[in-house]
Amino acid sequence: MDLLLDIEQRLGEPLQAFTDLLFVMDKHGAILDCRFGDPSMYSDSFEKTREKTIQDFLSSEAGDRLNFHLSQARQVGKAASFEFPLMMEGRELWFDARLVRSSDSRFILSARDITKYKRTEGRLKRQLQRINALRSIDFAIASGLDLNLLLSILLDRVIETMHVDAAAVLLLDPKLNELTFASGKGFHTNILQHTRLKTGQGYAGRVALDRRIINIADLTKNKTEFERSPLFPSEKFVVYYGAPLIAKGRVLGVLEIFHRSHLHPDEDWMDFLNIISGQTAIAIDSAMMFKELQKSNFELSMAYNATIDAWSRTLDLRDRDIEGHTRRVTDITLRFATLAGIKDSDLIHIRRGATLHDIGKVAIPDEILFKPGPLDQDEWETMRQHPKYAVDLLSPIKYLEHAMEIPHWHHEKWDGTGYPDRLGGEEIPFSARLFALVDVYDALTSDRPYRRAWSKQDAVQYIENQSGKHFDPRLVPEFLNLVSANGY
């Protein structure tokens, strides 16, 4: 067993400085001699190296690799480097090994203990994975997903990153002081779906009340605590963690983590549990805020529409003859706009604009508006102000800024002879060109204080005649199709 003496005498101290383990073996891996840099560390394990092969100490995977390198070194005479793990007294140690051939039948394996480096590397890998998980969650929060989808993504990340079997989120109803199930992943049964726990009740209820993480390291010894479902034991959970979800100082719920075998979480794992709980709380908070905002936007928009309808009814009430005109032109205009390819999202503005198109007439005196005959020049001057009055009236209202085209320009003409701005051709916004056709057709076929209704044929003929004069010639055929198809 003094094969190494020769080498040691030649290399002396430096060898000790560069290796932790040194083996001499034959071509099959049988150990002929060995040395340990720090004998106290390894000697117990290698006490009986006699009669053994180095493969006896290696996992089968690492043994295969060693065999491969041995045969390479034999055939090609090449030195090889590789890493391998060793189990020693229940601890996994990692070595960086170098294998060289010293003679036909002898090989020297020197190995350096890199366990510390490996652990750091593993820790860095896990930290990177956690950071990536957090970033993807941040991204999901920022994209304003709905809460269920958000929680589902989040729980997938929790399970994957924390290497646990199941996770769930319970949400706290602050009015009822009750936790209910919101989302879960990794369960075999639906035991948690009907969870209803008062704060203070059960593990989760205590988490919410105390605002602290609760850990049950062995659930099998705490059976009585799980009253949530008689099916609970069938999940065979061993470990429970409950973490409070707190945002802006309010408890929003509980993140629950379940594992079917024992867990040995390190400091990083616990840190991550804290961070992910904070993140989950933020996700819930922002999703709820988003929902609130949508709700209040919806309510606001209902209020707007009610206001608009109320205004236009005031006008209709005053001018009984145009009662129904507003509603009709609005309906037909929306249909025409859809056919003409106006985007759905713009239809709301078209609807509001059409409803309010003649709102400026509230400023026209009765004597003019209800005059049973033709208007004189002064009266016309006043009447032609009604689009301007509409702009004055509506422009301070922010939510109508995209609804102004029709009230403002519905009396402009394609040939530039209309009012109030004498716009021509495509200077006139599309919605106003489209609306003009509907407005005139409906006016002509209705009774007015100043004349009786025209027949439909006369109105159609008038529209055709005004194509390229009053009206956009490309829109006229489309409009007349719509009229005949719907019997307007």
Do the Cβ atoms of 267 and 134 come closer than 8 Å? Answer: no
Q: 120-179: which residues touch ligand SIN (CB under 6 A)?
A: 122
**Site for ligand C2E contains 444 (CB under 6 A):** yes
Partner whose binding site includes residue 383, from ligand SIN, Fe ion, ligand C2E, none (CB under 5 to 8 Å by kind): ligand C2E
Q: Which stretch binds ligand C2E (CB under 6 A): 70-78, 116-124, 157-165, 440-448?
A: 440-448
Q: Which amino acid is at 440?
A: V
Do the Cβ atoms of 207 and 214 come closer than 8 Å? Answer: yes
Residue 422: CA count within 13 A, CB half-sphere: 1
Nearer to ligand C2E, 430 or 462 (CB): 462
Q: How far is CA 214 from CA 244, 257, 368, in A?
A: 9, 10, 80
Nearer to ligand SIN, 112 or 384 (CB): 112
Do the Cβ atoms of 390 and 360 come closer than 8 Å? Answer: yes
**Site for ligand SIN contains 266 (CB under 6 A):** no
Minimum distance of Fe ion from residue 180's CB (angstroms): 56
**Site for ligand SIN contains 309 (CB under 6 A):** no
Do the Cβ atoms of 410 and 357 come closer than 8 Å? Answer: yes
Minimum distance of ligand SIN from residue 44's CB (angstroms): 23
Minimum distance of ligand C2E from residue 428's CB (angstroms): 14
Do the Cβ atoms of 132 and 126 come closer than 8 Å? Answer: no
Q: Which stretch binds ligand SIN (CB under 6 A): 201-209, 273-281, 385-393, 427-435?
A: 201-209
**Site for ligand SIN contains 225 (CB under 6 A):** yes
Could you give the residue ranges of the DSSP H alpha helices within 99-210? 115-142, 147-162, 202-210
Q: Which amino acid is at 300?
A: L
Partner whose binding site includes residue 228, from ligand SIN, ligand C2E, Fe ion, none (CB under 5 to 8 Å by kind): ligand SIN
Minimum distance of ligand SIN from residue 220's CB (angstroms): 14
Neighbours of 264 (CB within 10 A): 7
Nearer to Fe ion, 74 or 371 (CB): 371
Nearer to ligand C2E, 218 or 376 (CB): 376
**Site for ligand SIN contains 118 (CB under 6 A):** yes
Binding mask 396-435 for ligand C2E (x = CB under 6 A): ---------------x------------------------
Give me the phi and psi of 96, to 5 degrees please: -105, 115
**Site for ligand C2E contains 469 (CB under 6 A):** no
Nearer to ligand C2E, 102 or 417 (CB): 417
**Site for ligand C2E contains 388 (CB under 6 A):** no
Do the Cβ atoms of 471 and 437 come closer than 8 Å? Answer: yes
Neighbours of 281 (CB within 10 A): 22
Nearer to ligand C2E, 351 or 357 (CB): 357
- β-partners of residue 169 are 183, 255
Minimum distance of Fe ion from residue 487's CB (angstroms): 25
Minimum distance of ligand C2E from residue 440's CB (angstroms): 4
Q: 232-261: which residues touch ligand SIN (CB under 6 A)?
A: 242, 256
**Site for ligand C2E contains 363 (CB under 6 A):** no
Partner whose binding site includes residue 204, from ligand SIN, Fe ion, ligand C2E, none (CB under 5 to 8 Å by kind): ligand SIN
d(CA 133, CA 312): 54
Closest by Cα among 242, 271, 249 to 169: 242
Q: Which residues bind Fe ion (CB under 5 A)?
A: 358
Minimum distance of ligand C2E from residue 358's CB (angstroms): 7
Minimum distance of ligand SIN from residue 258's CB (angstroms): 9
Partner whose binding site includes residue 444, from ligand SIN, ligand C2E, Fe ion, none (CB under 5 to 8 Å by kind): ligand C2E
Token pair 């840099």 is at which residue? Answer: 37
Structure-token pair, residue 110:
């020197």
- Sequence-distant (≥ 6) Cβ neighbours of residue 142 within 8 angstroms: none
Tell which phi-psi region holds residue 282, choosing left (phi > 0), alpha (psi between -120 and 50) or beta: alpha
Token pair 């006043």 is at which residue? Answer: 382
Distance of CA 110 to the CA centre of its chain: 53
Do the Cβ atoms of 453 and 462 come closer than 8 Å? Answer: no
Token pair 């209709």 is at which residue? Answer: 316
Residue numbers of the site for ligand C2E (CB under 6 A)? 371, 374-375, 383, 411, 439-440, 443-444, 448-451
Which residues lie near ligand SIN (CB under 6 A)?
118, 122, 197, 202-205, 225-228, 242, 256
